[in-house]
Amino acid sequence: MNLQEILFSQGFGTRRVCAGLVQQGWVSIGGAVCTDTLAEYETQGLSFAVQGVTWPFQERAYLMLHKPAGYECSQKPGMYPSIYTLLPAPLRMRGGGAAAGVQAVGRLDQDTTGLLLLSDDGKFIHRMSSPRHHVPKLYEVTTKHSLDADQVAKLLKGVVLDDSPVPVKAAAAVAVDSHVLHLTLTEGKYHQVKRMLAAVGNRVEALHRASMGGLKLGADLPSGQWRWLTPEEIMALYTPAAAT
């Protein structure tokens, strides 16, 4: 693939903008400045730098973001800033067209923190977000009132929410403290955790998504930061994690 197409595919602007970056000497590979827009490169394992910032070539983007509170998972947010403002411009422009850039895999409420996946792979987004595939998501829930065995039992048995007559069950529910619940769900209804806790007579004070599938949000990724997923982590998303 020639250098102009490489930059275009990775979200560095229109083909004309990408050509300009190369011609002005702002692109380097292996420490050497590249000024030929039509120079061909093998993309497998390719790493390049644009204005001093190193980027790996990625045919598809798979990212994890440690979402902070106070951000909306929307391209057109209302009262709060968008989570997309936490990403560099190339990730928001990948692919071009009307649906350019990476997209969030599902949504977290503005006051919810934790693991959020983003990708430009439509099949991956559908696979991870569709309730048909039952990808488990572990939430750490801080409750207003003390938890009791009856509340946990009801969450496991199933509670009826106002938008569906079919009871919604937790895949796992473990009270790890008097006000801390580890709740595992395999679907994602609107405000589901908050509504489920309300249905059993409690209230969510804080909500944090700790894992999806077998992928955990580690302490090495600070709030508000993002990074690429490794191939092993992508595979872990298809492996259910043990309930904790």
- What residues does 119 pair with on adjacent strands? 62, 103
- What residues does 168 pair with on adjacent strands? 159
Whether 109 sits among the annotated catalytic residues: the reply is: yes
54: number of Cβ within 10 Å? 9
CA nearest neighbour of 125 among 137, 116, 113, 114: 116
14 dihedral zone (left: phi>0; alpha: psi -120 to 50; beta): beta
CA nearest neighbour of 67 among 114, 105, 118, 102: 114
Rounded distance, CA 174 to CA 160, Å?
20
Q: Which structure tokens are listed for 96?
A: 């071009």
Catalytic: which of 109, 111, 148, 220? 109
CA 147 to chain centre: 30
13 dihedral zone (left: phi>0; alpha: psi -120 to 50; beta): left
Secondary structure (H, E, C), 133-167: HCCCEEEEEEECCCCCHHHHHHHHHCEEECCEEEE
Annotated active-site positions, please? 109
